[in-house]
A and B are shown apart, each in its own frame.
Chain A
Amino acid sequence: MTRVLVVDDHEAMRRGLETVLAATPDLIPVGTGSSEGDLWHLLKRVAPDVVVLDYHLPGQDGLMLCHRIKSLTLPPAVLIYSAYADESLEIAATVAGADGVLNKSAPANDLFAAIRSVAASEPTLRRPTPSALTAAAEKLDAEERPLLGMLIQRTPVPEVADALGLPLDEAADRIRAVIGRLRVRVPAGS
């Protein structure tokens, strides 16, 4: 049984997700929220195994939220759910510590499969192609590139801090800066 929390600012999506999840025996929708406030509130109350997180919440960036969720002790798995899922988003999501990225146009079966995979800690994000990785590296300063390299390999944040010889919170600051630069610009919603 996998407990799923849905955070999406579009009501139609929330209702749709809740309905299809409720009809699936092994997935339990334990809550839906539309904002960052809802997310933190529900995370404490319902202890989900997986958070299905809209990439772009009003006034909030899904990747930054994802990074903060993943900084919790014993974080849930995070599936970034976006209307624009391409390779550059997958790289940024990997850096943010997301467990998976799914396009909103995927049929329900793909969604269920993705939720089950991230819940089982199976890798769902593709290895980035060299060209996409180069494009991502070009958005960064030279001293940020080693960070990208380590995070793409899914190195845990404490180990990254160790490797850089930085205190944990400073390493986290740098990671957030990298996420900010890798962010895929979407004009509105997602």
Chain B
Amino acid sequence: MPPSRWFGLFLITRATGALVVPPLLLVDHLDGNEFVLAGVALGYSAASAGVLARWPALQQSRSLWVADCAVLLSLVLAYGEWRSPFYLLALSSLVLPATGLSLRGAVAFGGGFVAAYLGVALLVGVDWASISTTARMQSFGALLLVPLVVTVALAFASDLLRRLERERQVAERLALEAERQRIAWELHDSAKQRIHAAHLLLSAVADAGPASRSLELAVEELRAAIEDMDTSLRDLREPLFDGGSLGAALRQWAERLQAGSDVRIEVVGDAPTLPAFTAAQAYRIGREALTNAVRHASASHAEVVLDVSGERLSLLVSDDGEGLPAEVRAGANGLASMQHRAEALGAELDVVTRPGGRGTIVALDAPLVEAAHV
């Protein structure tokens, strides 16, 4: 489950926690002081939800989690009794830490919450004489243990979902890899052998005597087809991008290109978690763009800028080389293959010569929707 779904759960529990406050206070005979507390609880709940929705990065801020717990527990403290209408609201502060931390971290957080609540209960005073009755003891015990149970349950679910997600990604990558190997094998074992045979047969005729121009051309075309196929096969056999950080992978490629040449390549930004297919295609596009900049455009400086925002990946490769050639080199299909990769992602790809003719800009703008590859 992506963080935004857990945020949904947070919103539901916070709203529920806040909305039960006024009725509970009414039952408890609302007086002036409690009226203020109810207002604070509702206002704080709305504000916290609003702030976290506006700036999603804050949803994972640890100090904010602690502060949130502190604010809500201090409402319990201000109410002055451990059986407080604000207790449920305070529990809602456990959702984000329980789902955002590792299992162990979540248990620690839950334990901390219990300790803090116990502290609050001791501060407002626990009537130990009355607690000795079974019902009161049970409810105090439950209030102490519920946060721990909630945290462990949520952390367990979140951990499980994270594992499933990882496994799904691995399975997706293995399936892709297997499919590529199958295609490579078929190309090699069937189509390529037939082309070899056709080339051999036609070249025998062409070599035997004065050949017609069209026969010579046919032999040339077959030879080129074999080269094309070798390129595709090399491509297919190269292991897929392993789904790690796109920035790190492109940096690695940049280092390989820089070794033994004077070119300087900078990779700015990163795109850490992308769907495997998107990452693999974006990697190959970025790689091709860099390779072109160094090998064909004789660039001395190239820059890659990566950015993920609003469910879109942006990859920008610019260089200071010669720009796009007026005529496409014979046998070059790098640009076409980049375009095909972009199409497979449902993405926009622009490859243009910079204004003024110095350098090339390759801009990819890809949606991060899983179903992009059909």
A residues bordering B, Cβ < 8 Å?
A: 10, 12-13, 15-17, 19-20, 23-24, 83, 104-105, 107-109, 111, 187-190
- CB-defined contacts of A17 to chain B, threshold 8 Å: 197, 200
Distance between B217 CB and nearest chain A CB, rounded to angstroms: 14
Do the beta carbons of B204 and A189 come within 8 Å of each other? no
Given contacts A16-B201, A187-B188, contact A23 B193 (CB under 8 A): no
B184-212 residues at the A interface, CB under 8 angstroms:
184-185, 188-190, 192-194, 196-201, 203-204, 206-208
Do the beta carbons of A187 and B199 come within 8 Å of each other? no
Choice from A12, A15, A20, A107 contacting B219 with Cβ under 8 Å: A107
Do the beta carbons of B203 and A15 come within 8 Å of each other? no
Do the beta carbons of B203 and A109 come within 8 Å of each other? yes
- CB-defined contacts of A16 to chain B, threshold 8 Å: 196-198, 200-201
Choice from B181, B185, B189, B204 contacting A20 with Cβ under 8 Å: B204
Q: Of residues B181, B189, B197, which shows the largest number of chain A Cβ atoms within 10 Å of its Cβ?
A: B197
The answer, yes or no, to whether B237 is at the interface (CB within 8 Å) is: yes
Do the beta carbons of A108 and B184 come within 8 Å of each other? no
CB-defined A-B contacts under 8 Å, sample of 11:
A12-B198, A16-B197, A16-B198, A23-B208, A24-B204, A83-B188, A187-B181, A188-B185, A188-B189, A189-B192, A189-B193
B75-96 residues at the A interface, CB under 8 angstroms:
none
Name the CB-closest residue of B to A20.
B204
CA distance A186 to B208 in the complex (A): 33
- CB-defined contacts of B237 to chain A, threshold 8 Å: 187
Name the CB-closest residue of B to A23.
B204
- CB-defined contacts of B189 to chain A, threshold 8 Å: 10, 188-189
Distance between A19 CB and nearest chain B CB, rounded to angstroms: 6
The answer, yes or no, to whether B70 is at the interface (CB within 8 Å) is: no
CA distance A16 to B198 in the complex (A): 7
Do the beta carbons of A189 and B223 come within 8 Å of each other? no
B residues bordering A, Cβ < 8 Å?
A: 181, 184-185, 188-190, 192-194, 196-201, 203-204, 206-208, 219, 223, 226, 237
Q: Of residues B193, B194, B208, which shows the largest number of chain A Cβ atoms within 10 Å of its Cβ?
A: B193
Choice from B185, B190, B203 contacting A107 with Cβ under 8 Å: B203
Task: A12-B194, A12-B196, A108-B203 given; name 13 further pairs at CB < 8 Å.
Answer: A13-B197, A16-B198, A19-B201, A24-B204, A105-B196, A105-B223, A107-B200, A107-B206, A109-B207, A187-B185, A187-B188, A188-B185, A189-B188
CA distance A75 to B281 in the complex (A): 52
Choice from B184, B199, B203, B226 contacting A188 with Cβ under 8 Å: B184
Do the beta carbons of B193 and A108 come within 8 Å of each other? no
- CB-defined contacts of A15 to chain B, threshold 8 Å: 197
Choice from A24, A83, A108, A187 contacting B192 with Cβ under 8 Å: A83
CA distance A24 to B185 in the complex (A): 33
Distance between A146 CB and nearest chain B CB, rounded to angstroms: 34
- CB-defined contacts of A23 to chain B, threshold 8 Å: 204, 208
Distance between B178 CB and nearest chain A CB, rounded to angstroms: 13
Do the beta carbons of A111 and B193 come within 8 Å of each other? no
Q: Which 7 A-B pairs have the closest CB atoms?
A: A16-B197, A108-B204, A107-B203, A12-B197, A189-B189, A10-B193, A20-B204
Choice from A20, A83, A187 contacting B200 with Cβ under 8 Å: A20
CA distance A187 to B26 in the complex (A): 76
- CB-defined contacts of A189 to chain B, threshold 8 Å: 185, 188-189, 192-193
CA distance A17 to B201 in the complex (A): 8
Do the beta carbons of A83 and B196 come within 8 Å of each other? yes
Distance between A186 CB and nearest chain B CB, rounded to angstroms: 8
Q: Of residues B185, B189, B199, B223, which shows the largest number of chain A Cβ atoms within 10 Å of its Cβ?
A: B189
CA distance A101 to B204 in the complex (A): 19
CA distance A187 to B237 in the complex (A): 8
CA distance A65 to B219 in the complex (A): 32
- CB-defined contacts of B199 to chain A, threshold 8 Å: 105, 107
- CB-defined contacts of B200 to chain A, threshold 8 Å: 13, 16-17, 20, 104, 107-108, 111
- CB-defined contacts of B203 to chain A, threshold 8 Å: 107-109
Distance between B134 CB and nearest chain A CB, rounded to angstroms: 73
Q: Of residues B190, B194, B204, B237, which shows the largest number of chain A Cβ atoms within 10 Å of its Cβ?
A: B204
CA distance A190 to B198 in the complex (A): 16
Given contacts A187-B185, A187-B237, A189-B185, contact A13 B196 (CB under 8 A): yes
Distance between A16 CB and nearest chain B CB, rounded to angstroms: 3
- CB-defined contacts of A109 to chain B, threshold 8 Å: 203, 207
Q: Of residues B184, B189, B196, B207, which shows the largest number of chain A Cβ atoms within 10 Å of its Cβ?
A: B196
- CB-defined contacts of B181 to chain A, threshold 8 Å: 187
- CB-defined contacts of A12 to chain B, threshold 8 Å: 193-194, 196-198
Distance between A127 CB and nearest chain B CB, rounded to angstroms: 26
Distance between A71 CB and nearest chain B CB, rounded to angstroms: 29
- CB-defined contacts of A83 to chain B, threshold 8 Å: 188, 192-193, 196
